[in-house]
Chains A and B, each alone.
Chain A
């Protein structure tokens, strides 16, 4: 960081035996703590939470430190003394009163304060607060490469001499200075000086310290690059236009790129199901493994590419500094609805999957704002709804891809509108109170770190697999059982076709397939799920749904994506609607009267509106309960969304019928 000759290091202590150390990483947001943590630990880390909170806790195991050493990544905070949960967590960890779940509750051996070399004056306030804790401390002066480019110079030797601790210039992005940093961590010492106890005293102390660090150097160059970009990205009109363009590009990349790995995953699990069929003898175990377990795991893993890609791109955008500008632009749009700019990333993430979106709501500082964001997130059209949207828009507009796209887009718009209006209602009733005014740092623009983005995608993907995977797998097994039992005798029609197939000899394949389909439909109707559909059908009849559609809605109550396969099984006896002939069978299927199509135009519109608005995702409910702190919020979310969906679908269907639309 400085151009002066290296200052004298503190007097060397006698060599100590290398012992495992616990290092707590403290720092302001946007100082590169995450990049530094990732560079030190790589994939050797685990994610849990701090007990009694929803705050994520990452614990890393750096290879370059003595065996058994740990790094605890504390939440980014501007001050240890703020009345915020993140600051309280940092205080408690430094005081030895809190530790990540599964770790021993004791004070860290070393506090590593990560500072931003391009913004030292403000960072020195947190350094002062950390120093007051009288724990062995090391200061990492990160982003020295950026500070050199900006012409920002300061003498870190002043910190070393003033505080009696090591201050190491480094760059987490390039690895510069990391050898020195690791060595400093193993010989950290307790600071010899502490700032005055008052807030004003701390501020004067920090100012004086920086003045001495910067003495003799030229004033830094003004950041005209950030200035010029901000004039565009924060402009009321240009900024909104840029935001729309960036988001459109983001979603285009996600939906186009992720389609490839999603196709590969579907193919792999389809082959896996076939392999199970070939290896296991027919029976309950075979059906459980093939239709329950394999299908259930496949149903979760298939969403992984979109979730990982979304978080990779969000991390890149965040690292460039643009995401803060997007939150600034969106604040004006969201505030009239009782939300604020911080809600933007959770709501954006929810378009891939509400689970990581709801978890991302932890970044919303105010509790009421956070709850409103959590309650709103599932309204954003997630990827699980896409198969339903695709089926229904194609049924509605068979010959017009343009109208299909318009209807598809309208579904997304309806979800966003319903979410915002629901947030407004919540903020005027059960979450009444002023919204926290915006005060958000806009970091300098910089090139993003692909490595950090890859780690972010990996972490979020693992969270999704663990939280959603277990629940979706359990749901798939339950649904399989409900759809497979109780077993029934094959209907006479199928028996007769099998007898004809026996006599047909070599031409039996088509007859056997027909018999399989008839038996499958019969078994589904007679199953527990089928009987539930018959019982519940009167509830859904006003929406235009018959017995079969009711079964589809009930089956997809736990996971939306199951609707299409359930309808395909009931109608065509096969669960892949893209298989030859299955889509036509679904499109032309009739209700129990043998005449009325299942998918009339009015019914299709009713179903579209229902699936846009309804809460049909058990994993989302579970995460809502956890993140909000109480099941009452999850139940409220379920009741509100289901009620809104039912009422809206009812109005749509009845209005269309009244206006003569079949």
Chain B
């Protein structure tokens, strides 16, 4: 029996300290998606929610597990980034 794929959630709904793998940013406007991509928030990048709220703080690392950077994101943007929660 195939294991179930973990449910995708929005970046804003991750718990503080929880990590996730970005699945898509299609719900964002093209300009916002391009800007987030330039900041490192793009499909397959790993993110960790450091602080919830509006704006929230997200730690962004590349898919290869390299060093991260921190980004403050408005709640609006965080609610349109779809992530797959990673196990703790």
A residues in contact (CB < 8 Å) with B: 78-79, 81-83, 118-122, 125, 150, 152, 199-200, 203, 206-207, 210-211, 214, 219-220, 223, 226-227, 230, 234, 236, 324, 327-328, 331-332, 341, 437-444
Q: Are A437 and B57 in contact (CB under 8 A)?
A: no
How many Å lie between the Cα of A119 and that of B45 in the bound state?
A: 14
Q: Are B66 and A230 in contact (CB under 8 A)?
A: no
Q: Give the contacts of B46-69 with A (CB-CB under 8 A).
A: 50-51, 53-55, 57, 60-69
How many Å lie between the Cα of A219 and that of B67 in the bound state?
A: 8
How many Å lie between the Cα of A230 and that of B57 in the bound state?
A: 9
How many Å lie between the Cα of A226 and that of B69 in the bound state?
A: 11
**Cβ of B73 < 8 Å from any Cβ of A?**
yes
Nearest B residue to A434, CB-CB:
B76
Q: Are B64 and A121 in contact (CB under 8 A)?
A: yes
Nearest B residue to A83, CB-CB:
B31
Q: Are B37 and A199 in contact (CB under 8 A)?
A: yes
Nearest A residue to B71, CB-CB:
A441
Please, which residues of chain B bring their CB within 8 A of the CB of A150?
67
Please, which residues of chain B bring their CB within 8 A of the CB of A199?
37
Please, which residues of chain B bring their CB within 8 A of the CB of A440?
55, 71-72
Residue from the list A121, A223, A230 in contact with B40, Cβ < 8 A = A121
Residue from the list A79, A327, A444 in contact with B38, Cβ < 8 A = A79
How many Å lie between the Cα of A176 and that of B52 in the bound state?
A: 39
Q: Are B37 and A227 in contact (CB under 8 A)?
A: no
List 22 contacting pairs A-B, 8 Å CB cutoff, sorted by A: A78-B38, A120-B66, A122-B39, A125-B38, A199-B37, A200-B43, A203-B42, A206-B62, A230-B51, A234-B51, A234-B72, A331-B74, A438-B55, A438-B73, A439-B35, A439-B73, A440-B55, A441-B39, A441-B69, A442-B69, A442-B72, A444-B70
Q: Are A211 and B64 in contact (CB under 8 A)?
A: yes
Q: Are B39 and A78 in contact (CB under 8 A)?
A: yes
B residues in contact (CB < 8 Å) with A: 31-32, 34-40, 42-44, 50-51, 53-55, 57, 60-74, 76-77
Q: Are B34 and A82 in contact (CB under 8 A)?
A: yes
Please, which residues of chain B bring their CB within 8 A of the CB of A121?
40, 61-62, 64, 66-67
How many Å lie between the Cα of A253 and that of B73 in the bound state?
A: 32
Q: Are B55 and A331 in contact (CB under 8 A)?
A: yes
Q: Are B57 and A328 in contact (CB under 8 A)?
A: yes
Q: Are B62 and A438 in contact (CB under 8 A)?
A: no
Given contacts A79-B38, A82-B31, 13 further A-B contacts (CB under 8 A): A79-B34, A83-B31, A83-B34, A203-B42, A207-B63, A230-B70, A234-B57, A437-B76, A439-B32, A439-B77, A441-B39, A442-B71, A444-B70
Nearest B residue to A226, CB-CB:
B70
Residue from the list A79, A119, A206, A210 in contact with B69, Cβ < 8 A = A119
Please, which residues of chain A bring their CB within 8 A of the CB of B44?
203, 207
Residue from the list A118, A125, A207 in contact with B67, Cβ < 8 A = A118
Please, which residues of chain A bring their CB within 8 A of the CB of B77?
437-439
How many Å lie between the Cα of A223 and that of B42 in the bound state?
A: 22
Please, which residues of chain B bring their CB within 8 A of the CB of A206?
62
How many Å lie between the Cα of A83 and that of B71 in the bound state?
A: 20
Closest CB of chain B to A126's CB: distance in Å? 8
Q: What 7 A-B pairs are tightest by C-beta distance, nearest first?
A: A78-B38, A121-B62, A79-B38, A437-B74, A442-B70, A438-B74, A211-B64
How many Å lie between the Cα of A332 and that of B37 in the bound state?
A: 24
Q: Are A439 and B36 in contact (CB under 8 A)?
A: yes
Nearest A residue to B70, CB-CB:
A442
Closest CB of chain B to A578's CB: distance in Å? 47
Residue in A122, A236, A442 with the greatest tally of chain B CB atoms within 10 Å: A122
Closest CB of chain A to B11's CB: distance in Å? 12
Please, which residues of chain A bring their CB within 8 A of the CB of B67?
118-121, 150, 152, 220
Please, which residues of chain B bring their CB within 8 A of the CB of A122?
39-40, 60, 62, 69
Q: Are A438 and B35 in contact (CB under 8 A)?
A: no
Residue from the list A79, A81, A214, A439 in contact with B72, Cβ < 8 A = A439
Q: Are B57 and A442 in contact (CB under 8 A)?
A: yes
Closest CB of chain A to B66's CB: distance in Å? 4
Please, which residues of chain A bring their CB within 8 A of the CB of B32?
437, 439
How many Å lie between the Cα of A613 and that of B30 in the bound state?
A: 41
Closest CB of chain B to A37's CB: distance in Å? 22
Closest CB of chain A to B68's CB: distance in Å? 8
How many Å lie between the Cα of A81 and that of B35 in the bound state?
A: 9
How many Å lie between the Cα of A81 and that of B30 in the bound state?
A: 12
How many Å lie between the Cα of A437 and that of B41 in the bound state?
A: 15
Q: Are A82 and B66 in contact (CB under 8 A)?
A: no
Please, which residues of chain A bring their CB within 8 A of the CB of B34?
79, 81-83
Residue from the list B38, B53, B61, B65 in contact with A82, Cβ < 8 A = B38
How many Å lie between the Cα of A327 and that of B55 in the bound state?
A: 11
Please, which residues of chain B bring their CB within 8 A of the CB of A118?
67
Q: Are A324 and B61 in contact (CB under 8 A)?
A: no
How many Å lie between the Cα of A230 and that of B65 in the bound state?
A: 22
Please, which residues of chain B bring their CB within 8 A of the CB of A328?
55, 57, 72
Nearest A residue to B55, CB-CB:
A438
Please, which residues of chain B bring their CB within 8 A of the CB of A327?
72
Nearest B residue to A77, CB-CB:
B38
Closest CB of chain A to B59's CB: distance in Å? 9
Please, which residues of chain B bring their CB within 8 A of the CB of A442?
57, 69-72
Closest CB of chain A to B80's CB: distance in Å? 9
Residue in B35, B43, B68, B72 with the greatest tally of chain A CB atoms within 10 Å: B72
Please, which residues of chain B bring their CB within 8 A of the CB of A125?
38, 40
Please, which residues of chain A bring their CB within 8 A of the CB of B50?
227, 230
Please, which residues of chain B bring their CB within 8 A of the CB of A203?
37, 42, 44
Please, which residues of chain B bring their CB within 8 A of the CB of A83?
31, 34
How many Å lie between the Cα of A150 and that of B69 in the bound state?
A: 13
Please, which residues of chain B bring their CB within 8 A of the CB of A332?
54-55
Residue in B34, B54, B64 with the greatest tally of chain A CB atoms within 10 Å: B64
Residue in B62, B70, B74 with the greatest tally of chain A CB atoms within 10 Å: B70
Please, which residues of chain A bring their CB within 8 A of the CB of B62?
121-122, 206-207, 210
How many Å lie between the Cα of A331 and that of B51 in the bound state?
A: 15
How many Å lie between the Cα of A227 and that of B70 in the bound state?
A: 10
How many Å lie between the Cα of A216 and that of B65 in the bound state?
A: 13
Given that A122-B40, A331-B55, A439-B39 are contacting pairs, would A210 and B72 also be in contact in the complex, using a CB cutoff of 8 Å? no
Nearest B residue to A81, CB-CB:
B34
How many Å lie between the Cα of A444 and that of B67 in the bound state?
A: 11
